[in-house]
């Protein structure tokens, strides 16, 4: 870890929904909450709580020195709106098999 940089992953109790163009894309009552220095809290939702039929794989990949390499998916009209870390670093291993969205709503 970089001095002053911190990441935590905790089991959340929030009810999180993702709606895109009026369609429910994801809904979970068991999100993981990832908090990272300098970033807003992010909700990582279990893959089984996400409508994967609405996602299109993207060729985009990004690398985070703290989390690993992210893969992306697009929603109709929203490129790279969803990401996941298929093989996350050990410090954030809990986010494996979870997806994160730029736009979420806590109900």
69-92 per-position pLDDT tens digit: 999 999 999 999 999 999 999 999
Q: What total of structural domains would you count in the chain?
A: 1
**Is residue 2, in this structure, part of any structural domain at all?**
no
State the pLDDT at residue 103.
84
Average pLDDT over residues 33-42: 95
CATH of the domain at 100: 2.170.150.40
User: Using DSSP, how many helices (H) and how many strands (E) does the chain show?
Assistant: 0, 10
State the pLDDT at residue 105.
79
Range of the domain at 59: 7-106
Q: Give the pTM.
A: 0.93
Is a pLDDT exceeding 80 seen at residue 2?
no
DSSP state of 50: B
């Amino acid at each position: 870890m970089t001095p002053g940089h911190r990441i935590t992953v905790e089991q959340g109790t929030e009810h999180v929904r993702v709606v895109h163009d009026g369609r429910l894309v994801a809904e979970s009552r068991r999100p993981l909450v990832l908090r990272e220095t300098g970033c807003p809290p992010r909700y990582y939702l279990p893959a089984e709580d996400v409508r994967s039929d609405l996602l299109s794989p993207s060729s985009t990949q990004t690398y985070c020195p703290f989390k690993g390499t992210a893969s992306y998916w697009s929603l109709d009209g929203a490129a790279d709106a969803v990401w996941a870390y298929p093989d996350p670093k050990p410090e954030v291993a809990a986010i494996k098999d979870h997806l994160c969205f730029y736009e979420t709503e806590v109900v």
